[in-house]
Amino acid sequence: MKLYNTATRQREEFVPNDPNLVKMYTCGPTVYHYAHIGNLRSYIMEDILEKALRYSGYNVKRVMNITDVGHLASDADTGEDKMLKGAKRENKSVMEIAKFYTDAFFEDCRKLNIKRPDVVEPATNCIADYIHIIETLIEKGYAYAAGGNIYFDVSKLKQYYIFNDHDEEDLAVGVREGVEEDANKRNKNDFVLWFTKSKFEDQALKWDSPWGVGYPGWHIECSGISMKHLGEDLDIHCGGIDNAFPHHTNEIAQSESYLGHKWCNYWVHIHHLNTNSGKMSKSKGEFLTVSLLEEKGYDPLVYRLFCLQSHYRKNLVFSWENLDNAVITYNKLIAKIAALKPDDADEIDTAAFDELKVKFLDALGNDLNTALAITAVYDVLKYKTNDKTKLTVIGDFDRVLGLDLIAKADVKRREVAAAAPAAQSGDYAIIRESGDADAAVIAEIEEAIKQRAAAKKAKDYATADKIRADLAEKGVILEDIPKGTKYRIEI
Ligand SMILES: [Zn+2]
């Protein structure tokens, strides 16, 4: 497998330190708010990377942190603690906020078919590990105390800006923010390892340390958690491109200074999701979450497909129109797979299977070319072999793609079968796809769906939309199909 390595700015053949186990680390979410779909693009692509490695025959151990302390509003150690900010906003404790948004994050991941990493570690679980690293850095002369805080001294390094010419825009922001304040720093890019003096008297989470009561800086947690679970040598570190500087640069600085040797071999960065007005952020424009997509009637897996259609190292532009195109692509693909009719008597054509698999692996091995991997699914559909083999191959590919292709095609097949008599009699088909409720509740739901169909027929779209929204509020999600509506009950 070839991967683009941000550290060398080259596409390289991936060779793990230990051929039997790939050690992979992912920067996790700061759990002070919902993740927006731009953040989730990174997690989708990292999930694909992990699954592609497993599919290629590697064992993988993947670790992810949950930032529940220490991430200030700016990546350059300034501004308010994001967790504290979230707690104030919602009038809850920091731990309540952390729990709530950690759960919300994994719920989004579940809907997007993102596998949970093997180890998920909240930053607050490993304070002793950070203290140990910081003590060593002080002993080795890489860190100093000033104004009550402990700083990493970047002037002690032979090389600091590992990623600097990769994303000049991010670097410029980091430097600008770094220059703004903090007279304690000896060099403008020095960063805080441990805070005892912060601007916030009411910092909620504090721990005792050799330097006084305080809390860790943001960057140290990823080094600490990675080394705790994956040891001194890491194969792949991934994250969003906005983490490349200063976060990953600082992770490298402190980890390699602590270890005295190279730490991580491959740095994989996922590029931004943009809107037409620029980079997506929580503060700008519409706050796009998985829940919002669902409210608007989109299957979260359509967003996953939308991400897979483009390369992870290109900025991807989100618009509702682009997402609608992905809906069309997804539905067509499912319909094509649903049209396959497996015959139990058929044998699996292993020669075809192997040939098709090679194409799929080539696409993934080409710096994770997911668009080409999707094309490989169409190649299966066109291939001259029996349907049973085609379905088996597609199901196999979907272990990586995670688009529920086989399950959705099964539903589609049943739908088509159920809708056929309805179409003949001119009736309107109402199909419950999943979920359950009392018979009375079901009858009520289906009556509302009939009323909505009538409103639509009368071109009274306001009423139709209101019925749809009212049902959505009750956890009933509608999807229109030819000559009917299907629905799922989610609560
Ligand atoms: Zn990190």
Tell me the CA–centroid distance for residue 445 and ligand 1, in Å.
46
Q: What is the CA angle 138-142-147, rounded to 5?
A: 65
Whether the domain at 2-270 and the domain at 294-420 fall into the same CATH topology: no
Residue 27 CA to ligand 1 center (angstroms) comes to 4
Neighbours of ion ligand 1 (CB under 5 A): 27, 222
pLDDT exceeds 90 at position 382? yes
Q: Which of 76-80, 350-354, 486-490 has the lowest mean pLDDT?
A: 76-80
Give 363 Cα–ligand 1 centroid separation in angstroms.
28
Q: Is 407 left (phi over 0), alpha (psi -120 to 50) or beta?
A: alpha
What is the mean predicted confidence (pLDDT) over 154-160? 91
CA of 248 to the centre of ligand 1 (A): 7
Token pair recorded at residue 351:
């020669």
Residue 284: pLDDT above 80?
Answer: no
How remote is the CA of residue 236 from the centroid of ligand 1, in Å? 12
The pLDDT, as a whole number, for residue 110 is 97
- Identify the three-state secondary structure at position 21: strand
Mean pLDDT across 329-341: 96
Instruction: Report the pLDDT value the prediction gives residue 178, as an integer from 0 to 100.
Output: 46
Domain ranges of the chain: 2-270, 294-420, 428-491
| 449 Cβ contact list (under 8 Å, min separation 6) | 430, 467, 471, 478, 485, 487
Superfamily of domain 2-270, CATH level 4: HUPs (3.40.50.620)
The whole-angstrom separation of Cα 176 and Cα 170 is: 10
Question: Is it the case that residue 44 has pLDDT exceeding 90?
Answer: yes
| Model confidence band, residue 423 (pLDDT cutoffs 50, 70, 90) | very low
Report the pLDDT averaged over residues 2-21.
Answer: 95
Cα separation, 69 vs 215, whole angstroms: 8
State in Å: Cα 64 to ligand 1 middle: 9
- Name the residue with higher pLDDT: 206 or 250: 250
> In angstroms, what is the span from residue 423 Cα to ligand 1's centroid?
55
Distant-in-sequence, close-in-space partners of 301: CB < 8 Å, separation ≥ 6 = 111, 112, 113, 330, 402, 403, 404, 408
* 267 CA from centroid of ligand 1 (Å): 12
Cα 151 to its chain centre, rounded Å, is 31
The per-residue pLDDT for 116 is 97
**pLDDT, tens digit (0-9, with 9 covering 90-100), for 87-105:** 888 999 888 999 999 999 9
For residue 467, how far is its CA from the centre of ligand 1 (angstroms)? 44
Angle at 80 between CA 78 and CA 83, to 5 degrees: 125
What pLDDT shows up at residue 165? 47
Q: Is the pLDDT of residue 185 over 60?
A: yes
Query: Which is more confident, 337 or 183?
Result: 337
Burial class (CB within 10 angstroms; exposed 0-12, middle 13-18, buried 19+) of 457: exposed
Mean pLDDT of 420-436: 71
C-alpha distances in Å from residue 272, one per residue of 179, 309, 331, 368:
25, 15, 26, 16
Please give the distance, rounded to the nearest whole angstrom, from the Cα atom of residue 409 to the centre of ligand 1.
38
Digit-coded pLDDT (tens) for 410-421: 999 888 877 665
Tell me the CA–centroid distance for residue 8 and ligand 1, in Å: 19
* 237 C-alpha to ligand 1 centroid (Å): 9
Average pLDDT over residues 128-151: 96
- 439-478 pLDDT per residue, tens: 888 889 999 998 999 898 888 999 999 999 999 999 999 9
| 222 CA to centre of ligand 1 in angstroms | 5
What is the percent of the chain with per-residue pLDDT over 70, rounded to a whole number? 91
* Topology adopted by domain 294-420: Four Helix Bundle (Hemerythrin (Met), subunit A) (1.20.120)
What DSSP state is assigned to residue 246? I
Entry pTM: 0.83
Q: What is the pLDDT, as a whole number, of residue 137?
A: 98
Q: What percent of the chain has pLDDT over 90?
A: 68
- 66 Cα: distance to centroid of ligand 1 (angstroms): 9
Give the bridge partners for 236, in sequence order.
24, 266
